[in-house]
Amino acid sequence: MATQPEETQRELIPPAEGLLVAPAPYRLAKKAVTRWHYSRSLPTGKLVSLGVWEDARFVGIVIFSRGASPWVPYRWGLKKHELCELTRIAMRDHKVAVSRVVSISLRILKKTNPGVRLVLSFADPEQDHHGGIYQASNFVYTGESNPVMENFIDGRWQHVRSSHWKAKAKGGVPTRIRRGKHRYVYVFDPSLRPLVEEKRVEPLPKRTKQSGVAPPVQGGGGGSIPTRALPLDEVVSRVCEQVSGRDELLKPGARLPGQTHPLSGHCYVVAEVVYHLGAREAGYRPEHLRWEGGVHWRLRHAASGELIDPTAPQFENAPPPEIGRGGAFLTRKPSRRALVVIEELGGL
């Protein structure tokens, strides 16, 4: 995303009733987010930061960025530069309606970044946010994003994406699955309107005082592995749903001739994603075997021998549980294909 010089953008939205929305330097963006936003942190990557002044008094910031996941644009059929996210609205006491500030900011973004076709934003129910600002700004509500996994480290809950290696170094730490965020979409390109309308969800969320988080998870039975807020079988179900029928995740030759099941050829990536999204911490290890002309991957519990075989339904005859060789995946960290799925699920 590109930005125009400050003097050019100031001409786009002339001051009205003492209000000015214009580009803001990094120091002001950091000041506003650190003081007035619950995250206390700026988004990473390229930013478009628009400051808000009332009667020459700085009262806040609106920030657009590429968002946390690089894969989101592809899910909308867009290129990376065609979608951005409204990632921060941080304001102190003010007189003007925030929805008006957002509307002005969107007009500036559209004029200065003509390649952007769609804008996303999220409201976090954990912070008692329901998206009223976006509802008043003509965003389309498209439901909740996927739940995310968090680790409890250093006295606070942290997204597993940023705390994965800390959690591994510490051993078994409490985990939880946090409810997804409310997703809102604003359309710049009219040709995308039908696609967005197909995803519209009713009724609109309302403010609630209930937390959007599953109860904290404590270590169970004195063991080192905490009980999970989301059962492992539900994790398996969501991973299979995410991968099912997606040929772009298949490696050449992974699907044998005549195989038509939507999970055919996906055994490796499904087992790998489930492994990194909790099965490893629960004591499962990968194993593989030759079956019906190919190599099949699944997970087995190291102590009990219990199997997790998410893609077994692809076969006419399920692989027998008594055969299989333990081993390791080809990469210690999640592979590129696994990362695509993990990012989409908001789990790493």
Average pLDDT of the residues in 214-220: 34
Q: Which residue did the predictor score with more confidence, 203 or 18?
A: 203
Q: Is residue 223 part of a domain?
A: no
Gap between the Cα atoms of 178 and 215, Å rounded: 9
pTM for the predicted model, two decimal places: 0.58
Q: Are residues 45 and 184 in the same domain?
A: yes
Q: Which among 232, 241, 229 has a CA at the least distance from the CA of 304? A: 232
Q: What is the CATH classification number for the domain harbouring 114?
A: 3.40.630.30
Structure tokens given for 244: 């099912």
> What is the reported pLDDT for 250?
85
Q: Which residue did the predictor score with more confidence, 158 or 63?
A: 63
Structure tokens given for 97: 């309606």
Beta bridge partner(s), residue 113: none
Gap between the Cα atoms of 168 and 187, Å rounded: 41
Reported as a single tens digit per residue, the pLDDT across 73-96 is: 888 889 989 999 999 999 999 888
Q: Are residues 15 and 144 in the same domain?
A: yes
Q: Is residue 162 part of a domain?
A: no
Gap between the Cα atoms of 267 and 309, Å rounded: 8
Q: Is residue 224 part of a domain?
A: no
Specify the amino acid at residue 333. K
Q: Are residues 189 and 297 in the same domain?
A: no
Specify the amino acid at residue 83. L
Q: Are residues 193 and 264 in the same domain?
A: no
Q: Is residue 180 part of a domain?
A: yes
Structure tokens given for 78: 């867009």
pLDDT-based confidence at residue 11 (cuts at 50, 70, 90): very low
pLDDT-based confidence at residue 213 (cuts at 50, 70, 90): very low
Q: Is residue 164 part of a domain?
A: no
Gap between the Cα atoms of 6 and 67, Å rounded: 24
Q: Are residues 45 and 179 in the same domain?
A: yes
Q: Are residues 189 and 59 in the same domain?
A: yes
Q: Return the sign of the alpha-carbon dihedral for residues 339, 343, 347, 348.
A: positive
Q: Are residues 179 and 269 in the same domain?
A: no
Gap between the Cα atoms of 285 and 270, Å rounded: 13
Gap between the Cα atoms of 234 and 88, Å rounded: 32
Gap between the Cα atoms of 196 and 175, Å rounded: 34
Gap between the Cα atoms of 94 and 115, Å rounded: 32
Q: Which among 44, 42, 51 has a CA at the least distance from the CA of 23? A: 51
Residue identified by tokens 């007009």 is 107
Cα–Cα–Cα angle for 220, 224, 227, nearest 5°?
Answer: 35
User: 153 and 170 in contact (C-beta within 8 Å)?
Assistant: yes
Q: Which among 163, 124, 161 has a CA at the least distance from the CA of 144? A: 124
285 contact partners, CB below 8 Å, separation of at least 6: 299, 300, 301, 302, 326
Q: Are residues 74 and 142 in the same domain?
A: yes
Q: Are residues 182 and 81 in the same domain?
A: yes
Number of domains present in the structure of the chain: 2
Q: Are residues 10 and 133 in the same domain?
A: yes
User: 69 and 96 in contact (C-beta within 8 Å)?
Assistant: no
Specify the amino acid at residue 311. T
Q: Are residues 144 and 33 in the same domain?
A: yes
Structural domain boundaries, residue 33: 6-148+175-198
> What is the reported pLDDT for 7?
40
Average pLDDT of the residues in 10-30: 75
3-class secondary structure for 175-244? EEEECCCEEEEEECCHHHHHHHHHCCCCCCCCCCCCCCECCCCCECCCCCCECCCCCHHHHHHHHHHHHC
Q: Is residue 28 part of a domain?
A: yes
Please tell me the least confidently modeled range out of 106-115, 132-141, 305-314. 305-314
Q: Is residue 156 part of a domain?
A: no
Q: Which among 145, 139, 125, 147 has a CA at the least distance from the CA of 205? A: 125
Q: Are residues 127 and 273 in the same domain?
A: no
Say whether pLDDT at 300 is over 50.
Answer: yes
How far the first Cα of the chain sits from its last, in Å, is 26
Q: Is residue 170 part of a domain?
A: no
